[in-house]
Structure 1
Amino acid sequence: MHIPFLDIEKITQKYQPHLSEAIVATINSGWYLNGKNVKEFENSFAQYIGTSYCISVGNGLDALTLALTAMKQLENWNDGDEVIVPAFTFIATAEAVNRSGLTPIFIDIDNNFTLDLRNCEQLITSKTRAIIPVHLYGKPCNMRILKKIANDYGLKILEDAAQAHGAQFENKRIGSWGDAAAFSFYPGKNLGALGDGGAVTTNNEKLAKHIQILANYGAENKYYHTYQGCNSRLDEIQAAVLSIKLTQLDYDNKRRQEIAQIYATHINNTAAGNIPYTRDTTQSVFHIYPFMSPTREKLQSYLARHDIETLIHYPLALHKQIVYNKSYGYLSFPYAERAAKEELSLPISPVMTNDEALYITEIINKFIP
């Protein structure tokens, strides 16, 4: 039995023929940018998340960068001002800070792979302007505690929700807790396009408008440019695709949780590694299923011999990356470094079968380090 890490083709086929029909309709419309499909998706996604505004952009990195840049300009932040970022996440989170002319200040993660709130206040200085909680793997950061910290110190919160489409904390959607949130619609995401795409959600009208201007070459009116901006937009085809897939997002996330529950219930080989979130499968939408193995390379090779594909998210903590090592390499973030050394992503998707998940648990339970 061959089990791919993520069968995007099978996921796409699940939405047929509706995707093809929508794409053909868009082609025949003759309108490919800034049309009704984008407006309809932005309205639907804002309503789904529970915010007043959704601004679609070209990708998740742009969503983060544009949101930070807009905050910086509206709040009159200085170049080099600081933004607290988890040391263990995809590098786009930190790159967006640098692209905005700000300085990332790394913080360790906790056992849930989210920002370590216990030590957050220790990093706040007179230059701190914002905190970026990353809802890594689909598991929400504790936004109640984070909001109190941000309020106490007058800081902005930009949620990195690139892996948390549909996730909730205290029955409120991720993407509606902070001052703004950034989403990616990369094809492998829980809500994925058939190409690149991203969005910012917010309840702040002024911020939303400013992000729109920055994403449109810095122009509010065509050919009249107020700011140094960029060209970042979602096209009509991708918007049509996302609108269709959004209607099934909650169902797909529930299916991911069901697969996670099979893993949590049936994997009992502690020599292979540890189940995330103390076997609770209700608080994450499982973009990634992060199995922690002290013998990761051996386990990964063993699973590959049994035709089970796995990936690693991520093999280096940010402060150990070459691009950041010179400035931050001397720092120690034990949980981030352990995650980089031990995390192994098991297959999980809404099109996986129970039999496939059970087969994986059976193989893992037979693993001998």
Structure 2
Amino acid sequence: MGIQLFKAKYEVDECLAEIRECLEVGWTGMGFKTVKFEEAWKEYTGLPFAHYLNSSTIGLYMAVNILKEQYGWEDGDEIITTPITFVSSNHAILKSDMKAVFADIDETMCMTAESVKERITDRTRAVMYVGLGGNMGHYYEIVKICEENNLKLILDAAHMAGTRYMSEIPGREAEAVVYSFQAVKNLPTADSGMICFKRGEFDEIVRKKCWLGINKDTYARSSDSGNYKWRYDVEYVGDKGHGNSIMASIGLVQLKYLDRDNAYRRQLVTWYRDRLSRYSDKIKLVKIEEGCESACHLFQICVEKRDELMMALNAAEIYPGVHYANNINYHMYNYAKGSCPYAEYVSEHTISLPMNLYLTFEDVQKICDVVEKFIRKN
């Protein structure tokens, strides 16, 4: 198998016990465990609302869709975003008939405040901030810019499960925070996510919109006696985006170990930095903001001849990744060509080294040996 980029670590027996309860009760869909997981997530994060979803992708779309509808944004209005992210971040904007305006990034791999300021126009309505790799970057500077310019803030926290700043979970400042619990994320399930709105009325709307617009879900329509109340209204043309109790069962277990696992991720990053920081003239390490306790979903470096380094690592049965290709290079966003030069550089030079929880100190040294040997030769 070699050394994989990601490999989820599950508490198997505990997960199976939670899932078994679903099967014994006979309720595997929305409700039962999903309600319990939402409550646990609110307690963990301190955020006021949380709705469990089948992916963070639907959460990002719902965030833009609901804010657009509730605040009266028009088709073609703009959301400032980053080109270095998974495409679901920016597709959420495009699918809502709005325009993604790309801000450049820096060594934090996150949008810079200066670039965001330069992109604000009279049609700007919001900022989509991505905490890439679990890092904070310039988040609080962007919060201030949004407040000063009456812009809404959406926090794409797909990589940020467990990230803290000055011991606090960030996100209370945002209109919506969207988390990913996809198969290789820090809190893994097969696939699911969570959307946390600031406002309770928006939480009520997303619950309907993610159940095809129906105003009462199947769990709410089932009484204690087992009678099924079939009458309901359909208030929106919605989607089927809610999570289920099987995935929530896994999430409930993994949440108990999230801080423990993130602590080990930070240990892996420390080992990497201890070895690779001596090559600062040839390797650029991601900058982590002071005061940020990152979830460390990724450990990224920028090097010349990135593709050749990937081949050298593959030859040693080490399998890194790239996070991410510059979204501006995709045809639906190429109207922004040339607008984010550092993002273009990052897209061609960044490599994500393995961060799976089964890595040992010796594994990290082996990876660094290959990187060092390549750097010295090149």
TM-score by structure 2 length?
0.91
In the alignment, what sits opposite 2:349? 342
Whole-angstrom CA distance in 2 between matches of 1:278 and 1:7: 24
Q: Distance in 2 between matches of 1:102 and 1:225?
A: 26
How far did 1:280 drift?
7.9
Match of 2:336 in 1: 328
Q: Kindly, what percent of the aligned residue pairs are identical?
A: 24
SS of the equivalent of 2:184 reads coil
1:295 is matched with: 305
> Within the alignment, does 1:211 sit opposite 2:177 as a pair?
no
- 1:38: which partner in 2? 34
Which amino acid is the alignment partner of residue 153 of structure 1?
A: N
Question: How far, CA to CA, are the matches of 2:250 and 2:172 in structure 1?
Answer: 23
Q: Which amino acid aligns with 2:307?
A: E
Whether the aligned pair in 2 keeps the contact of 1:176 and 1:201 (CA below 8 Å) is: no
Cα deviation code 1:189-231 (max 9, x no counterpart): 01110x2211101331111111112112122246412222111
Question: In structure 2, which of residues 61, 71, 74 is the aligned counterpart of residue 75 of structure 1?
Answer: 71
User: For structure 1, which segment, 296-305 or 268-277, has the greater mean C-alpha deviation from structure 2 after superposition?
Assistant: 268-277
Tell me the CA shift for residue 172 of structure 1: 2.2
Q: 1:252 aligns with which of 261, 271, 280?
A: 261
**Structure 1 residue identity aligned to 2:47:** T
Q: How many Å apart are 1:91 and its aligned residue?
A: 0.8
Structure 1 unmatched ranges of 5 or more: none
The 5-angstrom pairing of residues 115-134 of structure 1 reads 115-134=111-130
Q: Which moved more, 1:164-173 or 1:221-230?
A: 221-230
Aligned-pair distance for 1:163? 0.9
Once the two structures are superposed, what CA deviation does each residue of 1:115-149 show, in whole Å capped at 9, x if it has no partner?
A: 11112122111211110110011111333211211
Q: Please report how far the alpha carbon of residue 282 of structure 1 lies from its aligned counterpart in structure 2 after TM superposition.
A: 5.8
**Aligned length, in residue pairs:** 361
Alignment-derived partner of residue 200 in structure 1: 195
Quick one: distance in 1 between partners of 2:260 and 2:172? 20
Separation in 2 of the partners of 1:4 and 1:346?
9
Corresponding residue of 2:366: 359
Deviation at 1:279, TM superposition (A): 11
Task: Give the Cα–Cα distance (whole angstroms) in 2 for the partners of residues 280 and 123 of structure 1.
Answer: 26
Q: Offset of 1:339 from its aligned partner?
A: 0.8
- Equivalent in the alignment of 2:224: none
Once the two structures are TM-superposed, the CA of residue 103 in structure 1 deviates from its matched residue by 1.4
The amino acid of 1:48's aligned partner reads Y
> Letter of the aligned partner of 2:112 in structure 1?
D
Aligned twin of 2:2: 2
Q: What does residue range 277-288 of structure 1 map to in structure 2 within 5 Å?
A: 277=287, 283-288=293-298
CA-based RMSD of the aligned residues comes to 1.9
Query: For 1:183, what is the secondary structure of its paired residue?
Result: strand
Distance 1:192 1:255 in 2: 15
Gap regions ≥5 residues in structure 2? 217-230
Kindly indicate whether the alpha-carbon contact (under 8 Å) linking 1:138 and 1:288 is maintained by their aligned counterparts in 2: yes
Distance 1:188 1:305 in 2: 23
CA apart distance, 1:247: 0.7
Q: What is the Cα deviation at residue 281 of structure 1?
A: 10
